[in-house]
Chain A
Amino acid sequence: MTGVLAVEFRRSPGIWLAPALAVLAVVLTQRDAAYWAGDWHATSIEVQFPVLVLGPVLAGFAAWTAGRERRHGHEPIAATAPRTPVSRAAVQWVALTCWGLLAYVVEAGVAVARTASRAGGGGPWPSYLLLGIVALITYPAVGFAIGRILPGRLTPALVAVGAFGLLVAGATDRVGLNRLALYHGDILVSPALRIRPAVWLLQLGWSAAVLLLAVAAVRCWHTRARGPLAMAAVALLVAGAVGVTTSMLVGSRDLTARAAPAAPACQGSEPRVCMWPDHAKWAGPAAVVAGRLHTALSGIYRFPATVYEAGLHTGRRAGTPELTVGTVPVTEVSLVAGLTDGLLPEKPPSCLLADPARFDRYVLMQAWLDVKGAGRVSPGISVDGARLAEIMSWGDDQQRAWFRDGLSGMPACARPGASP
């Protein structure tokens, strides 16, 4: 068996595919590297991102590999081999999958090495990394089974496009299919959250069920036991229905709160800024921004002694600053919004939208905070530049008076409105 596997490793298209997929995966991962490098949580999610391409391509090649005996007219000869059809198929699938996993491991290795050289502490999140491996095992298995049962020149292409369709549908579906696509890809998820164990177990169980069904389908096909094959098809449908139902029963939330660490990453003194260890590299810039705002808002607003990142401090009172890292790229100006939470709402109150003068004042005040905290206006704000420049040319006391005056004239509405 080992010798056969060694031969198959050399014959598999994976030998050509793996280097190309590794390069592609590394290129895909390097996007937004400034964000995830040094952040174990984001790195672990990012490593999984190339599954979007690797999974469908491997599934397509698995379907292609599965048709080898038929393409070459070797089916009658293969039927006389001492090995069972399932073991012959398994060897082909294992070889291709291992080559695909090699590409994934290379890509993960590059990303992990990059983060390890910058991260202050912590380590990779196995849940995300393993989910990528599970997906890269499962998608080729399904492709292989389909390629064996429905051989044809278009089958590999259809399998690849279908796998991508499932990943796309799963990644955006909010009902239950998202878990069955075996993919979580939003790197902006806070490290305060982790995958729920129930969701993780559901995905492992789903993968195991799909693998078993793929083996059963190949076996039934080769033994010409069409009755069992029909049963396997029905079983697949039932498994799908059970999977979706179970997924719905597990609840709509994929993530759950994570316990705060005993030693968060803290920087600065006035105010002190504490962040999740995964976001340690942002603590310094956040402390600088917080210090500037503290000075600029002297006499108007009193910062708490310590400002925490979201999810880090359970005793936070509503309306107090809370840091959020939720944009790519993270910049000093993107940190201002969380630090000024409670002073100015991030979105304008709905009643302001009907009052252009007050709305303009609100936008100017937001821009003023941006400039004071980060030295520039947030790219999302469209502001009267001449008016802002005029305000910035005033003395510090006059600027504070203008801001205080604006705050007192700001109406309190129940609901925030749309973004400006």
Chain B
Amino acid sequence: MTLLYAKSRHLLRAAVWLVVLGAATLAWGSYQLRVPHVSSGEGLPIPVLLVVPLGSALVIGASAGSAMQDLEGSAALDLRVWRLGHAIGLSVLGAALLVPGTVRGTGGYGVAAAIRNLTGYAGLALVGVCLLGAGLSWVLPVAYALTAMVLAVNSPSVAASWAWPVRPATEALSWGWAVVLAVAGAVAYARFGARQPAAEDPLDAG
């Protein structure tokens, strides 16, 4: 059953992607992106290690769908436990793979910030899985991450409180946001699974 579940969700492929992202963090984690800022030609510095967890979360979201979900509904097993294990397991793996590349981070922007961002983004991706389906699970985390990076930061040292991914990990509120999203995503995914959009739904018809 475990193998069947893993194959139906392409979990091996997801694990490979997480390894690739972990390696990318190791190689470029300390590099700083200069996100364009409307009133600053130089842009605002955001460490790569804050952005890579977004990729890990997208992988987790993309792995959450199954082509056989209707059939699985008729199974005697309680799939809620499997889905919860799936979400938690991949998140823990993703976080563990990010650690080697983020230990060099400084201040509030190190291992803790990377894990916090993975936690929150994964929660958003899983909420997206329930609302939009696994194929579009990237929409919420990507839209939120881009908005937080370009809108919430007014100067290199000041970010709005809602922009938890770009706040230092020493702030409890940023963890609060991430944990709430993670719990909401994991619970929703465990309870409802991935949304199976109808063929005539423009979002899936795409």
Interface residues of A (CB under 8 A from B): 10-13, 15-16, 24, 27-28, 31-32, 35, 45-46, 49, 52-53, 56-57, 60-61, 64-65, 67-68, 71-72, 153-154, 156-157, 160-161, 164, 167-168, 171-172, 183, 185-189, 328
From B32-40, B71-79, B81-89, B161-169, the one touching the partner chain is B32-40
A-contacting residues, B36-55, CB 8 Å:
36-43, 54-55
In this complex, what residue of B is CB-closest to A173?
B34
A60-B202 Cα distance, complex, nearest whole Å: 15
Selected contact of A49 from candidates B38, B42, B58, B147, CB within 8 Å = B38
Q: List residues of chain B with CB within 8 A of the CB of A64.
A: 135-136, 206
Complex: A164 Cα to B134 Cα, angstroms: 21
Question: Which residue in B33, B37, B65, B142 is a CB contact (below 8 Å) of A56?
Answer: B142
Residues of B within 8 A of A153 (CB): 62, 65, 134-135
Interface size range on B against A: 35 or more
Contact B58 A57 (CB under 8 A): no
Determine whether B150 belongs to the interface, using a CB cutoff of 8 Å to chain A: yes
A-B contact pairs, 15 of them (CB 8 A): A12-B206, A15-B202, A24-B147, A32-B39, A57-B139, A65-B206, A154-B59, A154-B138, A161-B55, A161-B58, A161-B142, A167-B36, A171-B34, A186-B39, A188-B39
Tell me the smallest distance from the CB of A378 to a CB of chain B, in Å: 15
Contact (A13, B202) CB under 8 Å given A157-B62, A188-B41: yes
Contacts of B138 on A, CB cut-off 8 Å? 60, 154, 156-157, 160
Query: Which residues of chain B are near A32, meaning CB under 8 Å?
Result: 38-39
Sorted nearest first, the 10 A-B pairs with minimum C-beta distance are: A157-B138, A171-B36, A172-B34, A328-B39, A186-B41, A157-B58, A153-B62, A65-B206, A53-B146, A68-B206
B135 contact from A71, A187, A188, Cβ within 8 A: A71
Chain B residues, CB < 8 A from A35: 39
Contact with A along B9-45 (1 / 0, CB 8 A): 0000000010000000000000001111111111100
Q: Which residue of chain A has the shortest Cβ distance to B36 in the bound complex?
A: A171
- Complex alpha-carbon distance, A161 and B43, angstroms: 18
12 additional contacts (CB under 8 A) given A154-B59, A185-B36: A10-B202, A16-B203, A27-B151, A64-B206, A157-B62, A157-B138, A161-B54, A161-B58, A161-B142, A168-B34, A171-B34, A186-B40
Q: How far is the CA of A346 from the CA of B62 in the complex (A)?
A: 54
B143 at the interface (CB under 8 A from A): yes
Contact across chains for B17 and A154 when beta carbons are under 8 A apart: yes
Closest to A65 in B: B206
| Cβ–Cβ < 8 Å partners of B146 in chain A | 52-53, 56-57, 164
Q: Which residues of B contact A52 (CB under 8 A)?
A: 36, 146, 150
> How far, in whole Å, are A15 and B35 apart by their CA atoms in the complex?
29
B residues near A11, Cβ cutoff 8 Å: 202, 205
B199 interface residue per 8 A CB criterion: yes
Given A57-B143, A160-B142, is A172 in contact with B202 using a C-beta cutoff of 8 Å?
no
Chain A: CB-nearest residue to B35:
A168
- Measured between beta carbons, the chain B residues less than 8 angstroms from A60 are 138-139, 142
Chain A residues near B142 (CB, 8 Å)? 56-57, 60, 157, 160-161
B199 with A72: CB separation less than 8 A: yes
Question: Residue among B54, B55, B136 with the most chain A CB within 10 A?
Answer: B136
Contacts of A65 in B (CB 8 A): 206
CB closest residue in chain B, given A72: B199
Minimum CB distance partner of A64 in chain B: B206
A109 to chain B, nearest CB (A): 19
